[in-house]
């Protein structure tokens, strides 16, 4: 019996480093650290399988989608 390999990577394209990047402002750095802490807390509480069900394409895609939705709402309010 062969084992099926799971290539799911929840944290692909997410910068989990505690070091500040050269092109990152202090506010962006602090925001990224808070975001990483929240993501890791959720992952540790729920476990890999539930996290995979919540974010089938990874956390990065979910964050991008929510950012686009926020920008769309802001543009709608401006008009």
- Name the one residue in this structure whose structure tokens are 């686009």: 68
pLDDT at 70: 84
pLDDT in tens, 27-71: 999 999 999 999 999 999 999 899 899 998 889 998 889 888 888
Go through 7-31 and write b for each residue having 16 or more CB atoms within 10 A of its CB, e for each that does not: eeebbeebeeeeeeeeeeeeeeeee
pLDDT at 1: 63
Predicted TM-score (pTM) of this structure: 0.75
| Integer Cα distance of 54 and 42 in angstroms | 11
């Amino acid at each position: 019996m062969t084992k099926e390999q799971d290539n799911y990577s929840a944290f692909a394209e997410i910068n989990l480093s505690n070091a500040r990047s050269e092109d990152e402002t202090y506010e962006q750095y602090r925001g990224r650290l808070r975001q990483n802490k929240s993501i890791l807390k959720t992952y540790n509480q729920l476990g890999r399988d539930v996290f995979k069900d919540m974010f089938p394409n990874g956390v990065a895609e979910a964050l991008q989608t929510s950012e686009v939705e926020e920008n769309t709402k802001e543009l709608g309010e401006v008009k």
